């Protein structure tokens, strides 16, 4: 075989792979759909579509589901992704928990698990616990002799996409953990590792409120503040995978010390600890509130603050209002940089978005007015507790279905 023949053969294989990915992408979005419709959607000729569909049926990734009449002519055989083609497994390492989710090939929940981290300050112990939980999920999946397409793991920290390392996870106390390689070795499966907010952003793009949007900012408000960027329909991670670390934008250089070592980070003003600080300060000043007993007994929690605020408690309302104002200030800068269509608020605190988003929107509107910015839509995420693990499912999907690499 001549060298140019090898190149042509390689080119043909690459083109076929791209075409197959394109067809899978449209099947995921538009199924049930016919071969003729796929030809129109993809711009591929009918012969190419039929050949690729035949291969995909042979691998069980898609299936025929019967005929549908479109008027004159022979009824068209409709196609869809095959839910029984295999499984996708996703995990989140939280500050004090590990969560797992296994879905079928159409992202329907099959199995879920959540366990407290037994030794939170010992990274080796946490990883052993994670591996054990993942192996359990995988062994249960293999009982039905179905493949596992991949595993995705989200962590609350900086992830180097090139090396697959967790470089820094301040709320876990982790530095330079080669997590992706360790898991791939232990599991003998493709493993995707990313920041939990990036995963959650992708989950909202695939399955949540960001479907149909091209340019989206996702913020997760929890113990810390994370972020994800969707640019032109793709997850943008930057040069080394660090893009979206909104929580560590400096808002006040003389402000409160952050877990990252700097002062006045965005997350020191917009996070669960910031919310609790407002309540404790008000109680210390002697302000009347339903939350006083929770503070004195060290039982203050998010549900309690939200419930008090919804019942009209002024301290609870003021705490959420302060978070909302700081959120609006930070978002104004992000909008000036990224010009998104949609801003999605996720994480634990998004469950009380009605107490923060109106104030954040008001602050954002005032701050954008001099620039005549079109105001982006602000919305609560579809997923809160399951945000990262649903994002992990989307991450594996993204590798299978997407035509483009991340930016």
pLDDT in tens, 352-406: 999 999 999 999 999 998 777 788 999 999 998 899 999 999 999 888 876 444 4
- 3-class DSSP state for residue 309? helix
pLDDT digits (tens, 9 = 90+) for 253-276: 999 999 888 999 999 999 999 999
Residues 6 or more apart whose CB falls under 8 angstroms from that of 292 comprise 283
Q: What is the pLDDT of residue 318?
A: 98
- What is the band of 2 on the pLDDT scale with cuts at 50, 70, 90? very low
Q: Is the pLDDT of residue 5 over 50?
A: no
Quick one: tokens of 303? 């549900």
Share of the chain above pLDDT 90, in %: 69
Q: Give residue 394's region: left, alpha or beta (phi > 0; psi -120 to 50).
A: alpha
8 A C-beta contact, residue 82 and residue 60: yes
Question: Which pTM value belongs to this model?
Answer: 0.86
pLDDT digits (tens, 9 = 90+) for 153-175: 999 888 988 888 999 888 788 89
pLDDT digits (tens, 9 = 90+) for 16-68: 888 888 898 888 888 899 999 999 999 999 999 999 999 999 988 999 998 87
Query: Taking all residues of the chain, what is their mean pLDDT, rounded to a whole number?
Result: 89
Q: Is the pLDDT of residue 7 over 90?
A: no
Least confident segment among 2-6, 18-22, 78-82: 2-6
Could you give the CA distance from residue 90 to residue 388 in angstroms, rounded to a whole number?
8
Q: What is the pLDDT of residue 336?
A: 92
Q: What is the pLDDT of residue 69?
A: 65
Instruction: Tell me how long the chain is.
Output: 407
pLDDT digits (tens, 9 = 90+) for 311-339: 999 999 999 999 999 999 999 999 999 99
* Per-position DSSP letters for 88-150, written without gaps between them: EEEEEE-SSEEEEEEEETT--EEEEEEEE-SSTT-HHHHHHHHHHHHHHHHHHHHTTT-EEEE
- What is the band of 3 on the pLDDT scale with cuts at 50, 70, 90? very low
Q: Is the pLDDT of residue 9 over 60?
A: no
8 A C-beta contact, residue 308 and residue 315: yes
Question: In terms of DSSP bridges, do strands 76-81 and 33-34 run parallel, antiparallel, or are they unpaired?
Answer: antiparallel
Could you give the CA distance from residue 36 to residue 51 in angstroms, rounded to a whole number?
13
């Amino acid at each position: 075989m001549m060298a140019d023949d090898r190149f042509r053969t390689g080119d043909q294989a690459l083109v076929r792979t791209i075409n197959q990915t394109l067809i899978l992408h449209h099947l995921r979005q538009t199924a049930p759909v016919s071969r003729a419709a796929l030809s129109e959607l993809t711009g591929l000729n009918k012969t190419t579509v039929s050949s690729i569909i035949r291969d995909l049926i042979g691998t069980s990734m898609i299936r025929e589901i019967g005929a549908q009449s479109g008027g004159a002519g022979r009824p068209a055989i409709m196609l869809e992704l095959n839910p029984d083609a295999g499984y996708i497994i996703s995990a989140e390492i939280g500050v004090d928990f590990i969560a797992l989710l296994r879905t079928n090939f159409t992202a329907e929940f099959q199995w879920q698990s959540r366990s407290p981290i037994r030794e939170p300050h010992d990274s080796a112990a946490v990883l052993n616990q994670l591996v054990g939980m993942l192996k359990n999920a995988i062994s249960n999946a293999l009982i039905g002799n179905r493949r596992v397409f991949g595993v995705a793991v989200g962590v609350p920290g900086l992830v180097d996409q090139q090396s697959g390392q967790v470089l820094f996870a301040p709320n876990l106390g982790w530095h330079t953990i080669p997590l992706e390689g360790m898991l791939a070795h232990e599991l003998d499966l493709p493993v995707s590792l990313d920041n939990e907010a990036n995963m959650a952003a992708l989950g909202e793009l695939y399955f949540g409120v960001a479907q149909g949007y091209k340019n989206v900012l996702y913020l997760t408000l929890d113990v810390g503040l994370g972020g994800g960027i969707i640019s032109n329909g793709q997850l943008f991670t930057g040069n080394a995978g660090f893009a979206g670390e909104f929580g560590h934008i400096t808002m006040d250089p003389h402000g409160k010390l952050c877990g990252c070592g700097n002062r006045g980070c965005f997350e020191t003003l917009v996070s669960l600890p910031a919310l609790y600080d407002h309540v404790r300060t008000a109680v210390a000043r002697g302000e009347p509130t339903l939350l006083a007993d929770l503070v004195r007994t060290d039982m203050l929690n998010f549900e309690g603050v939200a419930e008090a605020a919804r019942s009209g408690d002024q301290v609870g309302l003021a705490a959420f209002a302060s978070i909302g104002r700081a959120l609006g200030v930070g978002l104004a800068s992000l909008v000036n940089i990224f010009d998104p269509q949609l801003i999605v608020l996720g994480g634990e605190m998004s469950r009380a978005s009605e107490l923060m988003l109106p104030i954040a929107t008001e602050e954002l509107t005032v701050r954008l007015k001099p620039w005549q910015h079109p105001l982006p839509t602000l919305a609560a995420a579809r997923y809160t507790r399951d945000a990262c693990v649903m994002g992990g499912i989307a991450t594996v999907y993204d590798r299978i279905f997407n035509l483009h690499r991340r930016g």
